[in-house]
Structure formats: structure tokens, C-alpha cells
């Protein structure tokens, strides 16, 4: 068997490696992906005051510190058995939605956009953000940078710091906002709604207006029929900050809906001898291997999954877009992995609308932002939707609030099995045997991966912004390298 | 003429904290008036917002490139434009960030240099640097102090490169 490696998987958050084994005719035999293992996190946390975890866990990852801060803060609320002050909760949710606006915008323009705006098989030298802004216009690049700066300003007004928020405390947040800050937030979020609408329009023109892309999105090579997970509110609408975890099947029917604290009764982890990755699956369905279908406990947690697992969006523009999404793609659920990009923009619209709604709520400037805890329960599970999937933080403490156990399921981990399956299927569909393996083809295999926007720990690891990850194609018997996607490395 | 010294890294991933440690030590030393020292735990596009407006930027970070742990290199930003093993043209690495900023007409630094230290371990959670990297941190404080005082590459590294 020969082996194909994609190295690095570019435009990814984090680093890792994809290895594709092919036979002498370049037909795919097996696909593996591997990421560096970060060690010793639980040991690092043990014996520390639990409230420190809201500042430590965001440092696991340079990409979504806000998600870890939020999940940690919610777990700590429970450890201290304290109800969150209503305005404290609103401020957390406002910050969190502003973070989503930044994260989803960045993904679209910088990580996914190049494939669609430049074309998946275009010149790799131009298939990047610079190519994108040269094609769509410099002013759009400037607008993306401005949106990020404005969101950072909003986040620092609530969070205390721009990058690693520190405001989350058991029972609420550390400080209220002023009327003047509120006015600025109303302005920023109103502009973000407009930009989200503009981005949706761009997606319509560039992607949905191009039949080749629509065919690619709907193609079998990029389709999996799995279970889907997402947090929903009391009306089964998508919510990023809070709610119950809802799981629907490949047929769209609800399998289960549970409180975050009960996650261990619903999820189990499969391990493979060749990898230290864990593959979470649904306990009630069981592990049947890396396979699709109703009998396989493999599930996905992503923007697409959240839309599939919900009954709609809680804001008007996003709801209209949600309806159009399912009308266009043939009803619920949508199994096309590449439709995740569209789903992400539906969520972008929701996040901007929801942030604006919260900023304009008169109660947002209420100075009463925190309830002071008076006792200790000693255990808590905080669950939020991270952009890359449902994020679980589970802490146990002694009676003084010192950490005795930590367990995390991070967003991307939920998708480990599905990512493996998507890579294999895309490789099988695209490496049809016999032919020379081109760079553009390997990029399309990467697209199966990129749709999940996987994030493997710390993106600041090596050098500024470097995200090494490689695809190598190897012969299955000799292990000789047949092709790589190292490009300018 | 303003210079930013930017220590980058992750404070809880062992040697990845190198840049932050060096930045903190530099901040305790007397610095020329036009020099600002900062720390960043994030990279990628957020760099754009950090470096804009400065004339010169000196970045400090740990990296793993297969060299001997503790080895110090001084690299020019040009070497990050699709250069050997420092990211590809597609990822948002330093070269792309600078180019993007210039394309958008933002005030980007005319000179960007990167001091790197070869790391031993960036995958274990911990707040300590490994021995060779901790030793390199001390040398790096002197080297960067030298560069900031004279405005040019330290002689010992100039000879090496």
C-alpha cells in the first residue's frame, strides 16, 4: 500500500497530520489523521482553587479562549451552587455572541473562503486571504479587520481583557457596563448584523450561484449520514451559551435531550490502538466502527449539526436563512459536510442579531451583575457550544473548592470519528485510482477536513500563526511517499 | 521611530512560554524610550492588530524545527514568506499577516525580526522552561537588549547568519 500525506493541512487552527495509504493503482486503502498530544492537563490543574480554572483553561487554545472561559465559569457556578444574576448572564451571553461573530467571520474569509472564492483547484499561491481580497475588493479585507477590532473592543469592555476574558466569576461577572459602553456596543453590534447580511449575500453569489460548487457540496464524497448534537433553548432553538444538549438521528428525529451534567450517561469514548485520539460516541446507540447510519453511535457537533439538532433560530433574519438553507438543500437533516460553511453563516447572522438584541435590552446596564456564593457543592459540569462543537468542562473539588478532578471534551474531539470518515470518503471519491495525484485533489481532501474547522490545542505553539499539518500519500506495502501537499514548505 | 518587542507563547505549555518569559525580563530592564515590550498568547491574524503602527517589531518565540534544544536564531520576516518549514503561503503566518496589512494600506512595520529558540517540549502542561531553553532565555535577554541599544543585529548572530 502506498501512503499519501497532506502536510500541512493549511488554514487550520492547530496542527496535525493526515496519512492516506493507497495501493499500486493509487486506490485508497486507509486514511488516518493524527494530532500532537498535549499531556498532563489534569495534573496541572489538581490542587488549584477551582475559580482559577476559568483563567487556566482558556490557555489550552489560542483560538477560542472565550469558549473555555465560558464553559469553565458555568462549571464553577455549579461547584459553588450559585444562581447567576440575570444581567451577569446577559453580559456573558453578549460577549460570547460577539466572539462567535469574530470567529465565524474569520473562518469564512480566511480559512474557508479561499477554496470557494478562488476555487478549490486554483493556483495554491493565490488560494489564500490575499487572493480573496484581491478578487472581492480591498475594502472587504478592511471591513473584516475592522469587524475584528470592534468585536475585540466589545469583548474587552465586558471581559476586562481583549484576548483572555477574566470577567466570569461564580454567580455572574466581575463588573457592570456603563450606559456609554452600552451605546458603543449597540453601534458595534448593529454594524455586525449588516456585515453578516453582506457576507451571506457574498456566499449566495459566489457559492450558491455556481452550480459546480452546489454539486460539490451535495456530492456523495462529502456526505455522511450521522447523528447530530447541539445545545438548544426551551423552544429547541439554537443557543451557544446555554440550554440542553439535543441529539437527532440521521432521519432527523430526536434521539435524546439531556442536561449537561448528565453527559457521562450519554457519551462514551472509543480508542484505537494506532492513535491516542479518543472517539466519543453515543452510548445508547453504541460503537459500530467508523461507519454512517442509524446503528452507528458516531455523531457530529458543528454548525451544521447545531442547525440539524434544532428546530430553528431564535432571531428573525437567521430564522429566514435557516428556512432557505433546508429548502435549498432538500429538507432536514442536511448530511452534506460542506454545507457546514453555509450553516456557519446562518449562525454568524444569529450571533450578530442576538448580540444586538442583548446590547439593546434595557437591563444590560443593571449594576447588579453577580450573586455571591455562600456554600459549596463540589462538582459542576459547564457546557457551551464552542464554534467547533459542544464543549464540556467537568470539575470536582474538595470542600474548600480545591480541584480534585478535571475532565474536558473539547469541540473538535466530538468530531474525531466523523473527521476520519470524511477524510476517507473524500479520498476514496477523489483519488479514483491510476491517475497522478494533483495538488488540487489533495486540497479537496483537505476541504473535507476544513469544513469541521478543527482546532487541535494551541495554535500559538511554534511560530506566529504557523499551523503545520501534513498530508502524505504512501504506498501501503513499501510506505514510499507517492504525493504530499507540502507546497511551499 | 518606535519599536515593539513582542514575546509570544503559551504560559502553561512548558517551553512554549519562552517568549513570554523573555518579554517579562526585558520589561524589568531599562529600555530606550521608543521601545515598548508586550506579550501575546495568540498568533495569526491577531498579530496584525498588535504590530500595526510600529516602525520595527522584534518577535520572540519558541519553535521546533529539529535543531538542538536551546539553539537561538535570528530570522528576518522575509524568511516567513513561504520559507522553508515556517508555514506555507496559505496559512496565516507572519509573512501573510504583514503582506495583508500592507495591501490594506495599514501602517505596517518596515522591519520585523524574529528571535527563535529551539524548544525541547511544547506538549506537556507546565509553567517551567526546560533546562536548555531556560539557559537560552538568559542569553536572549542580553542579545535583544544589545539589538535594542544599537539598533542592529548583535555581532555574534550576524556572524552566524
pLDDT of residue A9 exceeding 50, the answer is no
pLDDT recorded at residue A62:
65
A468 and B CB contact within 8 Å:
yes
Looking at the complex, report in whole angstroms how far the Cα of residue B63 sits from the nearest Cα belonging to chain A: 4
Q: Could you tell me which chain A residue has the CA closest to the CA of B126?
A: A44
Who has greater pLDDT, A384 or B31?
A384
Nearest to A129 among B59, B92, B125 (CB): B92
Q: Average pLDDT of B118-138?
A: 93
Determine, yes or no, domain membership for A112: yes
Q: How far apart are CA A415 and CA A300, in angstroms?
A: 5
A292 and A275 in one domain? yes
Mean of per-residue pLDDT scores for chain B: 85
Q: Per mean pLDDT, which range of A368-377, B50-59, B74-83 is the poorest?
A: B74-83
Looking at the complex, report in whole angstroms how far the Cα of residue B113 sits from the nearest Cα belonging to chain A: 12
Q: How confident is the model at residue A13 (pLDDT cuts 50, 70, 90)?
A: very low
Global model pTM greater than 0.95? no
Mean of per-residue pLDDT scores for chain A: 88
Determine, yes or no, domain membership for A411: no
Determine, yes or no, domain membership for A70: no
Looking at the complex, report in whole angstroms how far the Cα of residue B100 sits from the nearest Cα belonging to chain A: 6
pLDDT recorded at residue A456:
57
Looking at the complex, report in whole angstroms how far the Cα of residue B102 sits from the nearest Cα belonging to chain A: 11
pLDDT recorded at residue A271:
87
Q: Average pLDDT of A386-414?
A: 93
Q: How confident is the model at residue A414 (pLDDT cuts 50, 70, 90)?
A: very high
| CB atoms closer than 10 angstroms to residue A145 | 20
pLDDT recorded at residue A15:
52
For the ranges A57-66, A108-117, A281-290, the one whose mean pLDDT is highest: A281-290
Q: How far apart are CA A2 and CA A28, in angstroms?
A: 9
A439 and A472 in one domain? yes
Measured between beta carbons, which residues in chain A are less than 8 angstroms from residue B96? 128-130, 465
B108 and A CB contact within 8 Å:
no
- Distance from the Cα of residue A15 to its chain's centroid: 15
Q: How confident is the model at residue A451 (pLDDT cuts 50, 70, 90)?
A: confident
Please state the φ and ψ torsions of residue B70, each to the nearest 5 degrees: 95, -10
Looking at the complex, report in whole angstroms how far the Cα of residue B9 sits from the nearest Cα belonging to chain A: 6
Q: Average pLDDT of A147-170?
A: 90
Question: Which has the closest alpha carbon to A419: A67, A60, A10, A35?
Answer: A35
The 10s digit of each residue's pLDDT in A322-341 is 999 999 999 999 999 999 99
**Structural domain of residue B79, as residue ranges?**
3-160
CB A434 within 8 A of CB A25: yes
Residue-level length of chain B: 161
Nearest to B49 among A44, A110, A149 (CB): A149
B8–A460 C-beta distance less than 8 A: yes
pLDDT of residue A388 exceeding 60, the answer is yes
Q: Is A450 left (phi over 0), alpha (psi -120 to 50) or beta?
A: alpha
pLDDT recorded at residue A439:
78
B63–A463 C-beta distance less than 8 A: yes
Look at the alpha carbons of A430, A436, A439, A440 in this order and tell me if their dihedral is positive or negative.
negative
Nearest to A110 among B45, B63, B84 (CB): B45
Determine, yes or no, domain membership for A327: yes
Determine, yes or no, domain membership for A269: yes
Measured between beta carbons, which residues in chain A are less than 8 angstroms from residue B100? 129-130, 133, 141
Exposure on the CB side of residue A174, measured as CA atoms within 13 A: 14
What is the number of structural domains in chain A? 3
Looking at the complex, report in whole angstroms how far the Cα of residue A182 sits from the nearest Cα belonging to chain B: 23
**Structural domain of residue A138, as residue ranges?**
83-222+336-372
B137 and A CB contact within 8 Å:
no
- Distance from the Cα of residue A140 to its chain's centroid: 24
A120 and A168 in one domain? yes
Report residue B29 as a C-alpha cell.
Answer: 530592564
A244 and A129 in one domain? no
Interface of A with B in 128-187 (CB under 8 A): 128-130, 133-134, 138, 141-142, 145, 148-149, 152, 163-164
pLDDT recorded at residue A320:
98
pLDDT recorded at residue A286:
97
A269 and A315 in one domain? yes
A16 and A138 in one domain? no
Q: Average pLDDT of A84-89?
A: 98
pLDDT of residue B92 exceeding 70, the answer is no
Q: Per mean pLDDT, which range of A41-45, B13-17, B58-62, B78-82 is the poorest?
A: B78-82
A248 and A263 in one domain? yes
A123 and A159 in one domain? yes
Task: Mark which of A313, A335, A357 sits at the end of a domain.
Answer: A335
Q: How far apart are CA B17 and CA A240, in angstroms?
A: 31
A203 and A136 in one domain? yes
Task: Mark which of A311, A335, A359 sits at the end of a domain.
Answer: A335
The 10s digit of each residue's pLDDT in A202-252 is 999 999 999 999 999 999 989 999 999 999 999 999 999 999 999 999 999
Who has greater pLDDT, B151 or B148?
B148
pLDDT recorded at residue B156:
78
Who has greater pLDDT, A237 or A474?
A237
Looking at the complex, report in whole angstroms how far the Cα of residue A9 sits from the nearest Cα belonging to chain B: 9
Q: Average pLDDT of B5-33?
A: 92
A461–B13 C-beta distance less than 8 A: yes
B100–A141 C-beta distance less than 8 A: yes
pLDDT of residue A31 exceeding 90, the answer is no
Determine, yes or no, domain membership for A61: no
Instruction: Say if strands B56-63 and B111-118 run parallel, antiparallel, or are unpaired.
Output: parallel
A191 and A247 in one domain? no
Q: Could you tell me which chain A residue has the CA closest to the CA of B15?
A: A461
- Beta carbons within 8 Å of B33's beta carbon, 6+ residues apart: none
Determine, yes or no, domain membership for A73: no
* Per-residue three-class SS string for chain A: CEEEEEECCCCCEECEEEEEEECCCCEEEEEEEECCCCECHHHHHCCCEHHHHHHHHHHHCCCCHHHHHHHHHHHHHHHCCCCCCHHHHHHHHHHHHHHHHHHHHHHHHHHHHHHHHHCCCCCCCCCCHHHHHHHHCHHHHHHHHHHHHHHHHHHHHHHCCCCCCCCEECCEECCCCCHHHHHHHHHHHHHHHHHHHHHHHHHHHHHHCCHHHHHHHHCHHHECCCEEEEEECCCCEECCCCCEEEEECCCCCEEEEECHHHHHHHEEEEECCCCCCEEEEECCCCCCCCCCCCCCCCEECCHHHHHHHCCECCCHHHHHHHHHHHHHCCCCCCCEHHHHHHHHHHHHHHHHHHHHHHHCCHHHHCCCCECCCCCCCCEEEEEEEECCEEEEEEEEECCCCEEEEEEEECHHHHCHHHHHHHHHHHHHHHCECCCCCCHHHHHHHHHHHHCCCCEECCCCCCCCCCCCEEEEEEECCCCCEEEECCCCC
CATH code, B156: 3.40.50.1450
Find which of A119, A149, A465 to mutate to test the B interface (most B CBs within 10 Å of its CB).
Answer: A465
pLDDT recorded at residue A37:
66
Nearest to B90 among A11, A38, A40 (CB): A11
Q: How far is CA B158 from CA A87, B32, B74, B76, in A?
A: 57, 22, 9, 12
Share of chain A above pLDDT 90, in %: 62
The 10s digit of each residue's pLDDT in A93-107 is 999 999 999 999 988
A133 and A165 in one domain? yes
A3 and B CB contact within 8 Å:
no
Nearest to B42 among A8, A10, A163 (CB): A163
| CB atoms closer than 10 angstroms to residue A428 | 18
Report residue A464 as a C-alpha cell.
Answer: 506566529
What is the number of structural domains in chain B? 1
A342 and A201 in one domain? yes
pLDDT of residue A391 exceeding 90, the answer is yes
Secondary structure class of B146 (helix, strand, coil): helix
Q: Average pLDDT of B130-149?
A: 96
A38 and B CB contact within 8 Å:
yes
Amino acid at each position: 500500500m502506498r501512503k499519501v500525506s497532506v502536510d500541512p493541512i493549511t488554514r487550520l487552527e492547530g496542527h496535525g497530520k493526515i496519512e492516506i495509504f493507497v495501493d499500486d493503482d493509487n486506490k485508497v486503502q486507509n486514511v488516518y489523521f493524527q494530532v500532537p498530544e498535549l499531556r498532563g492537563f489534569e495534573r496541572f490543574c489538581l490542587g488549584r482553587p477551582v475559580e482559577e480554572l476559568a483563567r487556566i483553561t482558556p490557555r489550552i487554545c489560542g483560538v477560542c479562549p472565550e469558549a473555555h472561559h465560558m464553559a469553565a465559569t458555568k462549571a464553577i457556578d455549579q461547584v459553588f451552587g450559585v444562581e447567576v444574576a440575570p444581567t451577569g448572564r446577559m453580559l456573558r451571553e453578549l460577549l460570547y455572541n460577539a466572539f462567535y461573530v469574530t470567529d465565524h467571520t474569520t473562518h469564512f474569509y480566511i480559512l474557508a473562503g479561499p477554496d470557494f472564492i478562488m476555487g478549490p483547484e486554483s493556483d495554491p499561491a493565490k488560494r489564500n486571504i490575499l487572493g480573496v481580497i484581491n478578487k472581492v475588493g480591498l475594502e472587504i479585507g478592511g471591513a473584516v479587520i475592522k469587524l475584528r477590532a470592534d468585536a475585540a473592543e466589545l469583548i474587552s469592555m465586558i471581559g476586562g481583557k481583549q484576548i483572555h476574558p477574566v470577567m466570569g466569576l461564580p454567580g455572574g461577572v466581575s463588573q457592570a457596563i456603563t450606559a456609554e459602553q452600552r451605546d458603543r456596543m449597540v453601534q458595534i453590534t448593529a454594524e455586525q448584523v449588516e456585515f453578516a447580511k453582506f457576507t451571506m449575500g457574498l456566499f449566495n453569489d459566489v457559492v450558491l450561484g455556481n452550480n459546480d460548487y452546489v454539486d460539490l457540496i451535495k456530492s456523495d464524497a462529502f456526505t455522511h449520514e450521522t447523528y447530530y448534537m447541539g445545545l438548544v433553548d426551551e423552544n429547541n432553538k439554537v443557543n451557544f451559551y446555554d440550554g440542553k444538549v439535543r441529539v437527532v438521528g440521521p432521519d432527523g428525529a430526536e434521539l435524546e435531550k439531556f442536561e449537561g451534567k448528565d453527559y457521562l450517561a450519554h457519551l462514551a469514548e472509543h480508542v484505537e490502538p494506532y492513535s491516542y485520539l479518543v472517539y466519543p460516541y453515543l452510548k445508547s446507540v453504541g460503537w459500530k466502527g467508523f461507519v454512517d447510519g442509524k446503528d452507528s453511535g458516531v455523531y457530529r457537533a458543528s454548525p451544521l449539526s447545531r442547525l440539524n439538532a434544532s428546530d430553528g433560530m431564535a432571531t428573525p433574519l437567521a430564522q429566514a436563512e435557516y428556512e432557505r438553507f433546508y429548502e435549498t438543500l432538500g429538507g432536514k437533516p442536511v448530511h452534506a459536510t460542506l454545507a457546514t460553511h453555509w450553516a456557519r453563516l446562518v449562525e454568524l447572522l444569529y450571533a450578530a442579531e442576538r448580540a444586538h438584541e442583548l446590547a439593546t435590552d434595557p437591563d444590560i446596564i443593571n449594576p447588579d451583575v453577580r450573586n455571591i456564593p455562600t456554600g459549596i457543592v463540589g462538582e459542576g459540569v459547564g457546557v457551551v457550544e464552542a464554534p467547533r462543537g459542544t464543549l464540556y468542562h467537568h470539575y470536582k473539588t474538595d470542600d474548600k473548592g480545591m480541584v480534585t478532578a478535571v475532565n474536558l471534551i473539547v469541540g473538535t474531539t466530538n468530531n474525531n470519528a466523523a473527521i476520519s470518515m470524511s477524510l476517507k470518503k473524500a479520498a476514496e471519491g477523489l483519488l479514483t485510482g491510476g491517475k497522478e495525484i494533483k495538488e488540487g485533489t489533495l486540497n479537496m481532501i483537505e476541504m473535507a477536513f476544513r469544513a469541521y474547522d478543527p482546532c487541535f490545542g494551541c495554535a500559538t505553539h511554534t511560530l506566529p500563526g504557523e499551523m503545520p499539518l501534513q498530508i502524505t500519500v504512501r504506498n501501503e506495502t513499501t510506505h514510499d511517499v507517492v504525493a504530499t501537499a507540502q507546497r511551499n514548505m | 521611530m518606535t519599536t515593539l518587542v513582542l514575546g509570544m507563547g503559551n504560559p502553561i505549555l512548558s517551553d512554549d512560554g519562552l517568549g513570554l518569559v523573555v518579554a517579562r525580563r526585558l520589561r524589568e530592564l531599562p529600555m530606550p524610550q521608543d521601545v515598548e515590550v508586550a506579550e501575546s498568547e495568540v498568533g495569526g491574524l491577531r498579530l496584525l492588530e498588535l504590530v500595526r503602527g510600529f516602525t520595527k517589531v522584534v518577535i520572540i518565540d519558541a519553535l521546533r524545527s529539529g535543531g538542538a534544544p536551546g539553539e537561538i536564531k535570528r530570522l528576518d520576516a522575509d524568511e516567513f514568506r513561504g520559507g522553508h518549514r515556517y508555514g506555507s503561503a496559505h496559512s496565516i503566518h507572519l509573512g501573510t499577516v504583514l503582506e495583508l496589512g500592507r495591501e490594506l494600506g495599514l501602517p505596517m512595520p518596515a522591519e520585523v525580526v524574529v528571535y527563535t529558540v529551539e524548544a525541547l517540549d511544547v506538549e506537556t502542561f507546565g509553567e517551567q522552561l526546560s533546562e536548555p531553553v531556560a539557559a537560552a532565555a538568559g542569553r536572549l535577554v542580553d542579545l535583544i537588549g544589545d539589538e535594542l541599544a544599537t539598533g542592529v543585529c548583535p555581532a555574534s548572530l550576524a556572524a552566524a547568519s
